[in-house]
Amino acid sequence: MPDFIYKAKTRDGKDVSGQMTANTKKEVLDRLAAQRLFPLLVEDAHKNDVDVGKWFKGKPPISAVSAFLNQLAELLENGVPVLTAFQALGKQTPNAALREVVVDIGDQVADGQSVDAAFAAHGKVFDDLTLSVIKAGNEGAFLESALKRTAKFMDDQAELRSKIVGAMIYPSVLCIVGTLVVATLLIAFVPKFEPMFESLVAAGKPLPICTVWLLAFRSFCGKYGLYALGFVVATVVGLRIWARAKSGRRAIDKWKLKLPIFGPVAQASCVSKLCRVLGTLLQNGVPILRALEISSRSTGNSLLQDAVENAVDAVAAGEPLSRPLAESKLIPPNAMTMITISEESNTLEKVLVNLADSLERQLSKRVDVMTRLLEPAMLLALAGAVFYIIIALLLPVFMMTEAA
C-alpha cells in the first residue's frame, strides 16, 4: 500500500503532521476525520521521487487502449460499479504501462474525482477525441455507449493503418534488396573488370559510352559517396525541421496533395480522418464547436486543418459548416454534396460516419492499386539497373574477343 503524508489541525487549532499507509487518499481523509482532525494537505509521500523506469516504458498500443475501453463499457453495461470495474481491469490488463494508468484512474475515482477528470490526467495515453467523448458521455449519462463508439473508432483507425503499412512492406523490401544488389555489383564485380578496361584504353580502343558512365558513377561513389549520403541525411533532417514551422508544413502538405499517384491517396486519408473524428464526436454529444476544434488537429494536413478552423469561426457566427469547407476545395465534390444535404436535414453526424466508411474503402482500393503499380515498376527498375551494369561490363569483353 502507498504511503501518504498529511498536515492537519486539531479542534484547538494546533498543527499536526505525519505519515500514514492507506489504499487511497480518501481512506486517509476518513481516518483523519475519525481522529477529529481537520486535514490541510494529503499527498503521496513518493510524489516527487524520480521514477527512472517510466522513461523506458512505451506508450500503450492503440489495440490495448481500445480493448480496455470495450471491457470497461461491458462491465458498466452489466451493472458493475465504477470502482469495482477499474479494480478488476487494473488486475487483468496485460499491458504494464496501461495497467498502471488504469489503477491510477481507479484511485482518483476512489478519491472523489469524476471519471472524465481521472482520464484527463493521462493525456499522453488518451487523445483529445477519447477524452472529449468520455466527458460528454459522463455528463450525458451515456458513458457506456460513448466508450464503445470510441473503441470502435480506434479499431477502425488501427485496421486502416495496418492495411497501409502491410501494403508498403513488399515495395520497401524490393527497394532495400535492389539497393543491396546494385551496391554489391559496383563494389565486388566492377573492380575485377577495370584492369581489362585499362588495357583496352592503352591499346587505343575507346570504351563504350555505357561503360564510361558506369565507371564514372563508381568513381563518384568511391570518392564522394559519404558526402552524398551526408547531404541526403542533412536534406531529410532539414526538411523535417522545416516541416515543424507553419510555412514549411503548409508547403509540404500542398506538395503532397499535388503528387500524381500519392496525392489522391493523401487527400482521401485526411478527409476520411476528418469525417470519422467529427462524426464520432457529434454522435457522442460533443458540442459542434468543440468537435470541430478537435477534428481539425486530427486531419494530418495543415491546409485542411486551416479550413476546419475557419469553419469554427463561421459556425460560431451562425453560418453553415458546408460553406467554409466547400471554399477550401480540399473535400471531393460528391462528399461535399453529402455534407451540405445532411446539414440541411440535421443528419450530419450519421452521414459523416457513413462518408468516412466510404472514403476509407476507396482509400484501401487506391492503396492496393498503387502498390500493384509500384511493385512491377520497382522490379523493372531493379532489372534495368542490373541489366545496364551487366551490359556495361560485357561490351568491352566482346570488343576484345572480336579484336582477337
Ranges of the chain whose pLDDT falls below 50: 49-56
User: Are 273 and 190 in a shared domain?
Assistant: yes
Residue that is last in its domain, among 133, 155, 177: 155
Which amino acid makes up residue 113? Answer: Q
pLDDT at 336: 87
Taking the CA atoms of the chain, what radius of gyration do you get in angstroms? Answer: 31
User: Are 102 and 189 in a shared domain?
Assistant: no
pLDDT at 347: 86
> Do residues 84 and 55 lie in contact, with contact meaning Cβ atoms separated by under 8 Å?
no
Residue 28, domain member (yes or no): yes
Beta strands (DSSP E) in 22-137 are 38-44
User: Are 190 and 326 in a shared domain?
Assistant: yes
> Do residues 149 and 280 lie in contact, with contact meaning Cβ atoms separated by under 8 Å?
yes
49-76 pLDDT tens trace: 444 444 435 578 888 888 888 888 888 8
Residue 160, domain member (yes or no): no
User: Are 66 and 122 in a shared domain?
Assistant: yes
Residues near 114 by Cβ (< 8 Å), separated by ≥ 6?
A: 138
- Strand, helix or coil for residue 329: coil
- Strand, helix or coil for residue 229: helix
* Measured CA angle at 134 (ends 128, 137), to 5 deg: 135
pLDDT at 1: 55
User: Are 237 and 182 in a shared domain?
Assistant: yes
pLDDT at 2: 63
* CA proximity to 366, closest of 261, 254, 287: 261
User: Are 391 and 257 in a shared domain?
Assistant: yes
Range of the domain at 321: 165-404
User: Are 67 and 45 in a shared domain?
Assistant: no
Mean pLDDT score across all residues of the chain: 81
Cell of 242: 522545416
Residue 93, domain member (yes or no): yes
pLDDT at 45: 65
Residue 201, domain member (yes or no): yes
pLDDT at 335: 85
User: Are 99 and 17 in a shared domain?
Assistant: no
Is the pTM higher than 0.75? The answer reads: no
> Do residues 367 and 265 lie in contact, with contact meaning Cβ atoms separated by under 8 Å?
yes
pLDDT at 48: 53
pLDDT at 54: 46
312-348 pLDDT tens trace: 888 888 888 888 888 888 888 888 888 888 888 888 8
pLDDT at 230: 92
pLDDT at 320: 83
* Measured CA angle at 246 (ends 244, 252), to 5 deg: 75
Residue 205, domain member (yes or no): yes
User: Are 13 and 79 in a shared domain?
Assistant: no
Residue that is last in its domain, among 124, 155, 186: 155
User: Are 9 and 95 in a shared domain?
Assistant: no
Residues near 3 by Cβ (< 8 Å), separated by ≥ 6?
A: 19, 20, 21, 44, 45, 46
User: Are 293 and 385 in a shared domain?
Assistant: yes
CATH code for the domain in which residue 76 is found: 1.20.81.30
pLDDT at 23: 66
Counted domains in the chain: 3
Residue 72, domain member (yes or no): yes
Residue that is last in its domain, among 98, 128, 155: 155
User: Are 260 and 330 in a shared domain?
Assistant: yes
pLDDT at 402: 66
